[in-house]
Amino acid sequence: MVFKAIVKDIKGKVEFDVPLRDFTSISIGGLAKAVVEPVDVEDVRRVIDFSRNEDVPLLFLGNGTNVLIMDEGFPGVVVRVAPNFGKYWVEDGSIVAEAGVSLHELIKVSQNEGLSGLEFAIGIPGSLGGAIWINAGANSHSIGDIVEKVDVITTQDLEYKSFSKNEIGFGYRRTVFQERPDFIWKVYLKLREASLEEIKNNILEFADRRKSQPANLPSAGCIFKNPPGNYAGKLIELAGCKGLRVGGAVVSSEHANFIVNRGDATSTDVLKLIEIIREKVRRDFGVELELEIDIKGRGSRI
């Protein structure tokens, strides 16, 4: 089996035929041919090299938020970033952090250091690498607002490269990394000095705005991007979609732009529900909702 050959080159943990539902926030996902937890960037380079040489798909996975992996699984190698890429440090008013650090941890660090700028991300459950990839944000703020540069390993030629803020092309839930699947390694965040009281108040204010979002059931975060001048959740609710259910997948009664897993949802359930929501919003408002979540694996069709 071609995937077994990866073991001889990797220092980190390697497992085969792993259920990816264990690594996604919505608790859905079939088997991956191989899952690797690299211990350092050289391990990552070896995995990328293996993937290129053997012509097998490669997926970098942080905390598994904002992603739906198909029930049929992922026919390649999944690199789990979070376990061993959790280093960070503070230098000259900036935080430098590896991709596996959670946004929650970075908010704590910045608060302790008297540095402001990350408070908007309170309650966003992802890791830093995933946040950069999608330019995660909330309440008119996004991670791209505070990025100075990002260090990556390119999947095209295995080189170390730095991308400046402008080169990353931050937009609404968009970055250049969605077109070039490089390994996001280190992120340089430029913050500003502020009092502990100001930072605490900012955190409380942003946390209060997120109270409507479901927290007790697995989800992938917001399913759709907000259309220009409107909110996807509002349109979905007005179209009568709250509480709609397909199998184990349900449109949240707390926030209509979330689909929650009631315990036995499949990717097929979620995709069917997405199509129903889209059709109802299209019919009632003439708006074509665009996906915010990323769909990976065999049989993905949206």
Spell out the domains of the chain, with CATH numbers in brackets.
2-80 (3.30.43.10), 88-209 (3.30.465.10), 219-296 (3.90.78.10)
Distances (CA, A) of 277 to 20, 142, 180, 223: 26, 26, 30, 10
pLDDT band at residue 299, thresholds of 50, 70 and 90? low
Give the pLDDT score at 212.
Answer: 73
Q: Is the CB of residue 301 less than 8 Å from the CB of residue 271?
A: yes
The model carries a pTM of 0.93
Q: What is the mean pLDDT of the chain?
A: 94
- pLDDT 10s digits, 244-261: 999 999 999 999 999 999
Evaluate if residue 117 carries a pLDDT over 70.
Answer: yes
Q: Which range (3-12, 106-115, 152-161, 234-243) has the least confidence?
A: 3-12
Buried b / exposed e along 261-278 (16+ C-beta atoms within 10 A): beeebbbbbbbebbebbb
Give the residue carrying structure tokens 């529900």.
Answer: 273
Token pair listed for 134: 């999608």
- pLDDT 10s digits, 120-174: 999 898 999 999 999 999 888 999 999 999 999 999 999 999 999 999 999 999 9
Question: What's the angle, vertex CA 266, arms to CA 245 and CA 184, rounded to 5?
Answer: 115
Write down how long the chain is.
302
